[in-house]
Chains A and B, each alone.
Chain A
Amino acid sequence: MEYILETNQIEKRYNRFKAIDNLSIHVPKGAIYGLIGKNGAGKTTLIRLICDLQKPTSGSYTIYGIKNTDKRILEARKRMGAIIETPSIRLEATAEDNLKEQYRIVGLPSFDNLQEILKLVGLIDTGKKKAKHFSLGMKQRLGIAIALVGNPDFLILDEPINGLDPEGIIEIRELILKLNKEKGITVLISSHYLDELSKIATDYGFIEKGHMVQEICKETLEEKCKKRVELEVSNVKECVKYFEEKQLSYEVISDKCINLYDEINITELAVALSKRDCVIDKFQEKEESLESYYINLMGGGNNV
């Protein structure tokens, strides 16, 4: 698989405090990668390291396969855009002037697709309105527009929907999906809004205390979260034989526990198993969301 961003045992210390601890992340090309973790988990620090705002204490990372210590990394950075915490915008200037300045910084010879970018983020009609009079959602979209100057293939968004109203959240979500689907931009997005993230992300990284707990793709996560019946039985072998005969989808969890993913009549199942000397001790229907999966993974619901 081709990765836009990879880190290798990256570490960041502030004196004795380890903000990032031997963290490895793999962002596949074309993905919307959701970086999930509670406050202080190290999401923003990781993004700052990737964006070269801070230097790693040890370890390395690659962007488009170029190592951070390689001089060519500056060229690779020209193909990325980012918003970290708050969008980098000039409040006294209009949306158009903000973009024009970014065009000059990037070094583009003309303002050719400026209007196209404004249209893409829905700010085409802002005219001479200064950015300081924009709503939070508009400022966030302007930040994304600035990050889009220079046609980046990789966009990093740190908490882009923080503080937005429901309408703003939908606008940003639609925009991210549009950028990913229509422009093929890979997006790394950190957020606390797990439900919102589950609507757009194709890959997830769960981070805790500066360490990557798990990286998982959407398909595998859906597989793990899908509706199931958790059975505790006296004889797992007989239970498996029965499920095989009936061609049911199942997963053995332990020598007493088995998960059944297909629908079944419970009376029929209990009778059939009892004929095989197998008793159902416990029966529980389960369905996990990204949120409950995250809570289970992190081992509790504090600070989520």
Chain B
Amino acid sequence: MYRLLKANFFRLLKNKIFWGIVIITIMIASFLVVNTILNHQGGTKEGIDRLLVIYMNIIGIFIAIFTSLFVGTEYSDGSVRNKIIIGHSRKNIYLVNLITSVVVGICIECVYLLIVAIIGIPTMGTLQMTADKFMFILVDIFFIIVAYASIFTCITLLCSDITVSTVTCMILVLIMFVATIALSSTANASKYHETYITKDNGEIEVHQELNLNYPGDFPKAVAKTILYCIPTGQAYEIVSQVGKHPLQIVDYMSDKDMKMASLYSLAVIGIVNGMGMYCFKRKDLK
């Protein structure tokens, strides 16, 4: 397996798609930081918390592009065939491609965090959330990246045609985004609306009203579970929770759930890779 990894990483260093994604990530990070600084000039300092995690929302697109094209090329140029002919096991070929996708995901996430930290910390200050919470979020990000890489590696290795696998991966990302939007309103609904009225003397009075559109506890729990199982949904919940205004009454992922979120990703990773490896071992290759 080490030999395959070594070969893949050498290939990665010369891969235009990988470097293209790195450059785009640098551009996105720089743009977001500069834009946030310009928007808050003279205003209150927001900190860089939300900025640090917001990239999670779109990292899936880049992992889908990279995995489908990089691993897909393995099929189109005959590398997968070549590796099997000379005695590499299918399990190792599968794992090496998965590891490569995970490493690329981690790399681009690190590049993003680094750019935001380098430009953002001197101008916007350090984290406002606790270091403990940030560590949990980093663990969640790691597992979300692995979950994305697992899903797209599975699709690409089970689909021998690079065009079909690329289109499938992109459509799946889109479906995940749509599902996240569709589920989030149910999953994050609160039982009560709260309205804030500022009195003449400046005091704020809080009124609680029953939310007539509340879907019920069970549908909410189901929607939340599904949302947590979708990497896009989990990322959306974390980003929304981190960026939530203190007065905003939306039931995003709680701190407790955030500590458990990795378990949902682990379940997805286990199921997808188990199924993917099983099918790839039995797949008739051409």
Contacts and interface: CB of A to CB of B under 8 A. Distances in A.
A100 B7 CA distance: 9
Interface string A66-105: 0000000111111011101111111100000000111011
Contact of B82 (A73, A85, A91, A102): A102
B6 A48 contact: no
Contacts of A55: 282, 284
B286 interface: yes
A76 B87 contact: yes
Nearest to A104: B7
A81 B6 contact: no
A122 interface: no
A107 interface: yes
Contact of A53 (B6, B7, B84, B282): B84
Nearest to A108: B3
B285 A88 contact: no
Given A87-B78, A89-B78, A90-B77, A81 B85 contact: yes
A187 to B, nearest CB: 15
B79 to A, nearest CB: 6
Task: Give the one of B79, B81, B82, B286 with max A CB within 10 A.
Answer: B82
A105 B86 contact: yes
B10 A53 contact: no
B82 A88 contact: yes
A107 B286 CA distance: 24
B259 interface: no
A279 interface: no
Contacts of A114: none
A54 interface: yes
Given A88-B77, A88-B81, A105-B3, A80 B86 contact: yes
B77 A91 contact: yes
B75 to A, nearest CB: 10
Contact of A104 (B3, B87, B282, B285): B3
B286 A105 contact: no
B85 A80 contact: yes
Contacts of B87: 73-78
Given A101-B7, A104-B6, A77 B86 contact: yes
B78 A86 contact: yes
Interface residues of A, number: 33
- Size class of the B contact interface (CB-based, 8 Å): 20 to 34
B50 interface: no
Nearest to B15: A92
B83 interface: yes
Nearest to B90: A52
B82 A105 contact: yes
A130 B83 CA distance: 22
Nearest to B73: A90
A53 B86 contact: no
A51 interface: yes
B81 A84 contact: yes
A184 interface: no
Contacts of B6: 104
A158 to B, nearest CB: 11
B285 A78 contact: no
Given A74-B88, A78-B87, 11 more contacts: A53-B85, A53-B286, A54-B284, A74-B89, A77-B85, A86-B78, A89-B78, A91-B77, A101-B10, A105-B7, A106-B86
Interface of B: 3-4, 6-7, 10-11, 77-79, 81-89, 282, 284-286
8 contacts: A14-B284, A48-B286, A53-B285, A55-B282, A74-B89, A75-B87, A77-B87, A78-B87
